[in-house]
Amino acid sequence: MPPAVEQAMISKTLRELFLAANRVLVLTGAGVSAESGVPTFRGGGQSAVWKGLPFEVISSAAMLERDLPAVWEWFNYRRNLLVQLRPNAAHTTIASWQDRFSDLSLVTQNIDGLHQAAGSRDVIELHGNVWRARCFDCDARYSLDDLSRDEAVPSCFDCGGNLRPDVVLFGEMLPPGAFERAADAAQRCELCFIVGTSAVVYPAASIPEIARGNGAYLVEVNPERTQLSDLCDEVLMGKAGEVLPLLRR
């Protein structure tokens, strides 16, 4: 892309706000991870993704109760797909913003841990993390690196109870405190980036609304317009890994 075109993508207003801002919120979704090769599994039409089961079934709270070993098998399969993947330029650019802004809040709907792999700290994970497990009984949490992979269902070291993937499944609430932290950051931010997500499913959809209601400048970064676009002050159409690095200049 010629430099003149690159510069034209970012408005003068956004460049000035980016240079002057102290409190910045970034909300990311599946589009950011997809650029690293992370499958979304959301083909629509109840298409089967795992042993004849649709994504909304195998990744549901009902399946957790009905067949916990199958849920573990499914998430083990997903982790095997993720283990070779690496953060892309969007992940690394957002991580670099931690040293640029005095108050950067990163809120993600992704569960793949790629933001942390890129160096982001204190990530607010709305939907949990595929690399963690938690206990049904005592709520203890573990990195999967610390657990035996020989068991169909790993056991809690503290109480001996069954562990489950530490992710939010269909039919479950968000982790305690996650949305509250995100909403607080949205109330305080001056500049809000919505990256790789349409952010139309609540409660995540309310985060840009809260930011806008408190005077923040909203910027959407997505390959195409979404239902959120009309709410935003600026829409940067393109892949996050190509668009976000332009703001370094």
Q: What is the pLDDT of residue 2?
A: 44
**Length of the chain, please?**
249
In the block, residue with structure tokens 């400048």: 217
- pLDDT value at position 148? 67
- Given the residues 78, 91, 115, 127, the one annotated as active site: 127
Mean pLDDT, the chain, integer: 92
What's the CA gap between 115 and 123, in Å, rounded? 8
- With respect to CATH, is domain 3-38+86-127+173-248 assigned 3.40.50.1220? yes
Among candidates 193, 127, 134, which has minimal Cα distance to 158?
134
Give the mean model confidence (pLDDT) for residues 96-121: 97
**CATH match for 43-84+132-167 among 3.40.50.2300, 3.30.1180.20, 3.30.70.100, 3.30.1600.10:** 3.30.1600.10
CA dist., res. 218 & res. 247, Å (int): 15
- Tens of pLDDT, residues 220-238: 999 999 999 999 999 999 9
Domain residue extents for the chain = 3-38+86-127+173-248, 43-84+132-167
CB 131 within 8 A of CB 113: yes
The per-residue pLDDT for 99 is 94
Q: Cα(246)–Cα(17) distance, rounded to whole angstroms? A: 14
Count H helices, E strands: the chain? 11, 11
CA distance 222 to 236: 7
Angle between helices 206-213 and 178-188 (to 10 degrees): 30
Preceding omega of 203 cis (within 30 degrees of 0): yes
The answer to whether the CB of 36 falls within 8 A of the CB of 87 is yes
127 is catalytic: yes
pTM over 0.75, yes/no: yes
Residue 58: per-residue pLDDT: 94
Rounded to whole angstroms, how far apart are CA atoms 23 and 81? Answer: 35
* 3 state DSSP class of 210: helix
Segment 168-226, tens digit of pLDDT: 999 999 999 999 999 999 999 999 999 999 877 888 889 999 999 999 999 999 999 99
